[in-house]
Amino acid sequence: MTNSKQQRSPLAPMRFPQLPQIAGARFASAAAGVRYHDRADVALATLQPGTVIAGVFTRSSTRAACVIDCQNKIGEDATNGAAILVNAGNANAFTGRAGVQSVARLCTTLAAKTDIPSQRIFTSSTGVIGELLPTASIEASLSDLVERQSPDQLADMAQAILTTDTFAKGAARRVEIDGRVVQLAGIAKGSGMIAPNMATMLAYVFTDADLEQSQLQAMVKRQNHRSFNCITVDGDTSTSDTLLVCATRASNVRVDGHEIFEEALGSLMLDLAQQIVRDGEGATKFITIEISGADTDADARVHAHAIANSPLVKTAISGEDPNWGRVVMAIGKSGAQADRDLLRIWFGNVLVAEDGWVSANYSEKDARRHLRQAEVSIKVDFGLGLGKTTVWTCDFSKRYIEINADYRS
């Protein structure tokens, strides 16, 4: 169940995908009453012995206790099984020593119920910041979670971890290596407070591929840079951002040396990342920002995020106003290298500005027609070098303000 106060995003996929079972992984969800009283709000994934886990996390200096705990556990011995416990409605962030104690207590309690060492239990919390986690309520749900685990409940887990999301997010990929099949399935949550910094909101990917933890960690870091770190909704990085990728190795298919596996992993991660943008709080437009000709790739990213995070750009697109001057403004404030007279800017296929001024052939009517679509693109060529990137964002509508003004109500 999604947030009952909201209608499903108009940018949402038509349906939740069919997720394959991942050998060596089981899932469950339950209602613990953490914040919501009419839906599941805790979820559990348990993974067979030998599972390797990679992850990236928020760099926020106020990150939650559970994030710090997960960071400390990545790379632990995979001899034993592993578990992921997630709750929605409370971020357990900025809760001081009590937050640290809650994480330790949940790991210890779950370890006793599963025979999985607490050092192999990863917790995540998402929701309101600065409120003590109702640890006892989550503990009370653990027996039910452990008892009801099943290989086919990943979709239910996707529902249980939502907060202001209007739809559950899932993706799957299937690759064939040397005539044998490897499965990948992932879920994510996120809608607001979205501007990742070496992480995502909450995302969990599971595969039965066989590879070493160091190999998986390198893949995740590379693909995260091209997916979750290329999206933004509102420019605000969460205290809870966590991406965990788990390989149970149950297929016995070694994937090292096969680029097709990393390509599938990257494709799945980008799919989930873009779904988060499509569920941006109050979003009505899915915006692709393509930068080319920048001095460096790093400059291209700076310019792209300056445009994507500009409230003036985002509100203009929400109002379907082709005010290209706001794009010029965002470029100018970014701090990365730019030359006014070399810039070329497009809305869709409509060239709106070049040679330091409006294009001689610019048609505002055509530009406005493009902005009336649900899928909008802004392209900028800087004419300086080979730097390029693509970033995805959404507009700011009146609904964004309503959602965030009433978040704790």
334-362 pLDDT per residue, tens:
999 999 999 999 999 999 999 999 999 99
Q: How confident is the model at residue 281, as a pLDDT?
A: 85
83 close to 151: Cβ distance less than 8 angstroms: no
The single residue of 2, 114, 166, 200 carrying the catalytic annotation is 200
Q: Which helix (H) or strand (E) covers residue 266, if one does?
A: helix 259-278
Neighbours of 62 (CB within 10 A): 12
Residue among 326, 317, 316, 309 at smallest CA distance from 374: 317
Q: Quick one: tokens of 204?
A: 């969990």
CA within 13 Å, CB half, 62: 11
Which three-class secondary structure state does DSSP give residue 111? helix
124 close to 43: Cβ distance less than 8 angstroms: no
Residue among 182, 240, 245, 252 at smallest CA distance from 215: 245
Q: What are the Cα distances from residue 292, in Å, to 47, 287, 328, 380, 382?
A: 43, 16, 15, 6, 6
Q: What is the DSSP letter of 260?
A: H
Q: How confident is the model at residue 349, as a pLDDT?
A: 97
- Amino acid found at 110: L
Neighbours of 139 (CB within 10 A): 17
Q: How confident is the model at residue 263, as a pLDDT?
A: 98
Whether residue 200 lies in the annotated active site: yes
- Amino acid found at 400: Y
Mean pLDDT by 10 residues, the chain (409 residues): 66 96 98 91 98 94 94 90 96 95 98 97 95 97 97 98 94 97 97 72 96 96 95 85 97 95 98 95 95 98 96 96 96 97 98 96 97 98 98 91 69
Which residues on neighbouring strands pair with residue 391, listed in sequence order?
289
Q: How confident is the model at residue 134, as a pLDDT?
A: 97
Residue among 101, 31, 110 at smallest CA distance from 66: 101
